[in-house]
Chains A and B, each alone.
Chain A
Amino acid sequence: MEFSLKDKAITLFCENKEVIFQDNPAEVIRARESAFRKFKQLGFPTKKMEEWRNTNLSDILSRNHHFNFEAPKEDIDIEKIFQCEVPNFDTHIVSLYNGWYVSRDKPLETLPNGTIVGSFARALKEYPELVLKHYNKYCKNELNGLNALNTAFAQDGVFIYVPDNVGAYKPIQIVNILDKGNNLFVQNRNLIIVGKNSKLSFLHCDDSRNHEASFSNTVTEVFIDEGASVDHYKLQNLNDKTTLINSTFFQQEKDSQLSSFAITLNGGIVRNDSHVLLNNKGIDSNIYGLYLVDKEQHVDNRVFVDHASPNCTSNELFKGILDDQGSAAFNGHVLVRRDAQQTNACQTNRNILLTDKAKAHAKPFLEIYADDVKCSHGATVGQLDDEALFYIKSRGISEYNAKLLLMYAFAAEVVNKISLPALKSRIDDLVKKRLRGELAVCSQCVLHCQSQEQVYDFKIDMSKL
């Protein structure tokens, strides 16, 4: 009989219930059981589904992946395998190793501004009321089987709680390291709660440590309370054999602000799903993406913005450069509900194809039921501008550098929106390296390239752009 990962997952869930449910409050167990039924019904996404038509998981899912239900016994010395080397970038690092929180035996930490950070599994024990108020409230298990599977299975992840009315502390950097994968199916669940009028910057880095295949299915729920402000950066630098499904569900409350970036520098198949519910008035929501794709890599960004309230602004800008046989998809869906008057929504996806074999699919989509709104959408797929190339070359700049200049300028529109200066300059370096073909997958984090940007003819000073 043909192997079915769905059947395997179903069997494993039934066999390992005791371990999965261990120490879980009754609400969590109910949520898992319900999501499990949903998964049985939905199965894994297929190309027959409109929202997955450009991303084919069937080959990957036909492999016999294995699941770990027990955290690794041996202590992981995270400092040995990961050191963030972004110059002058001071973050508070929390790590996941194959989906398990590193040092999960330790109690949750309280940072100087009162922010609580730690293992999601541990938070369920220490702060059950706080967690249960938000857990599984934003994730859409009915949306696809992967989300449901995550709810049913995921045992650990990162928990962050920022209390009301606190200013920014250091950015919190979640590092999800995949190691010794060999078809490991990793699932983690993150919950981020940002209190009223508070600020949080957090990074969500997905990295491979070696070249073994693995499948990472992550769900992150983010609640942004009234007047709060969140900067979110997904940085993805995985090996070519890794599949990453990264689903983030945001709920924003009155007058809150969000900037979320999905920066994909490398990966096998990467799917970023961002769901944003604008739940009250005066919200500002910015969803940005930058993907640099080559070889046979595939990057799929899906964004759903639900304008459920009036006077909100949402802005999507996704840009991609595709080389070799790389492919990308963008699916943007903005829903403006009947009461969401005075909505301002903008969707943009631009792609540059460097070869005949590279492919980009763009589907910007607006669904509007209110009448007093300002919405725009646009998508382009094209080559570098020949007129601009000729102009640059006519000044004596080589074809190679002329193309670099144009590609770099194209990417810079997204990079320039990064508000943490040290991160911006690092991403800027990495984009340059990537465009010059110097950056294959790092053995470690995307932010962990040992070699600094070298002095080079092609020197761009971001501050001047």
Chain B
Amino acid sequence: MLKIENLHVSINGKEIIKGLNLQVNAGEVHAIMGPNGTGKSTLASVIAGKEGYDITDGHITYLDKDLFQFSTEERALEGIFLGFQYPVEIPGVSMTNFMRTAINEHRKHKGLDPLSAGDFLALMEEKRKLVEIKDKLKNRAVNEGFSGGEKKKNEIFQMAMLEPKLAILDETDSGLDIDALRVVANGVNKLRSKDNASIVITHYQRLLDYIVPDFVHVLYEGKIVKTGGKELALQLEEKGYEWLG
């Protein structure tokens, strides 16, 4: 599904990712761990198509196509979803209208008619319950005044609405208490299938108790320095990252 080869990325002339390789197949869950500042969020942003990054070498193919030819919104329409580490507050844009616009753009892309208001609200209701989001949040402006936990749940809610092929969750667990963590993980697990894949970026092994990965990668100084199964996460928890350097 996703194939990253020898990826080099710089921001303002400073190289952040230094030759990264990664392959993600349908049905797999990959965890990417690593200390701060090693390029985890940069990798997520580059896949989602954020501006401000120089791809100095390497390439990424997604569903056998060159990913870099697509704009941010085209990537989203092709099934890539980024769960933000810091979800953005958008005053004045209600969650309902935001999601309805997004859903209808996805439907248009698939050649489907826009969802009727009734069907849309029913869909929202169904997915809202999945991530145990409070009913009132859907009438509020996007992320505005949401608590940290609500913002993260809202990311998973949007993911549930858009049903991506490839979900990248950037530190979705950071700042969550154990109950919220369980809700978020539960949402991700329910959306797991043989046809889609996830990349879970995290600092802590804790999340991986709930979302069991097929592979754990250690990203260190811009490269994947070690890959293993879920037991690697436990090792990292115990020994830290220093021994890998």
Q: A394-B49, A395-B98, A395-B158 are in contact. Are A413 and B72 (CB under 8 A)?
A: no
Cα separation A406 to B93 with both chains bound (whole Å): 7
Set of chain A residues within 8 Å of B193, measured between Cβ atoms: none
Set of chain A residues within 8 Å of B75, measured between Cβ atoms: 394
Cα separation A396 to B159 with both chains bound (whole Å): 12
Q: A401-B105, A457-B114, A464-B97 are in contact. Are A396 and B162 (CB under 8 A)?
A: yes
Cα separation A391 to B141 with both chains bound (whole Å): 14
A302 interface contact, C-beta 8 A: no
B36 interface contact, C-beta 8 A: no
Q: A393-B73, A464-B96 are in contact. Are A401 and B101 (CB under 8 A)?
A: yes
Q: Cβ of A397 and Cβ of B94 under 8 Å apart?
A: no
For B96, give its contact among A385, A397, A401, A461 (CB under 8 Å).
Answer: A461
Count of chain B residues with Cβ under 8 Å from any Cβ of A? 39
Set of chain A residues within 8 Å of B99, measured between Cβ atoms: 395
For B97, give its contact among A393, A399, A402, A459 (CB under 8 Å).
Answer: A459
Set of chain A residues within 8 Å of B158, measured between Cβ atoms: 395
For A391, give its contact among B71, B87, B139, B162 (CB under 8 Å).
Answer: B87
A69 interface contact, C-beta 8 A: no
Please report whether the interface of chain A is mostly helix, strand, loop or mixed according to DSSP: helix
Q: Cβ of A397 and Cβ of B88 under 8 Å apart?
A: no
Cα separation A138 to B100 with both chains bound (whole Å): 50
Q: Cβ of B72 and Cβ of A394 under 8 Å apart?
A: yes
Cα separation A381 to B44 with both chains bound (whole Å): 31
Cα separation A409 to B38 with both chains bound (whole Å): 36
- Cβ < 8 Å to B, chain A residues 438-465: 457-461, 464-465
Q: Cβ of B109 and Cβ of A396 under 8 Å apart?
A: yes
Count of chain A residues with Cβ under 8 Å from any Cβ of B? 30
Set of chain B residues within 8 Å of A393, measured between Cβ atoms: 49, 71-73, 76
- Cβ < 8 Å to B, chain A residues 377-420: 385-388, 390-399, 401-402, 405-406, 408-410, 412-413
B90 interface contact, C-beta 8 A: yes
Q: Cβ of B101 and Cβ of A457 under 8 Å apart?
A: yes
**Chain B, Cβ-Cβ closest to A413:** B92
Interface string of B52-88 (1 = CB under 8 A from A): 0000000000000000000111011100011010011
Q: Distance (Å) between the CB of B146 and the closest chain A CB? A: 13
Q: Cβ of A409 and Cβ of B93 under 8 Å apart?
A: yes
Q: Distance (Å) between the CB of B156 and the closest chain A CB? A: 13
- Cβ < 8 Å to A, chain B residues 7-58: 48-51
- Cβ < 8 Å to A, chain B residues 77-132: 77, 81-82, 84, 87-94, 96-102, 104-106, 108-109, 114
Q: Cβ of B105 and Cβ of A391 under 8 Å apart?
A: no
- Cβ < 8 Å to A, chain B residues 146-181: 158, 162
Set of chain B residues within 8 Å of A460, measured between Cβ atoms: 97
Q: Cβ of B76 and Cβ of A394 under 8 Å apart?
A: yes
Cα separation A98 to B96 with both chains bound (whole Å): 46
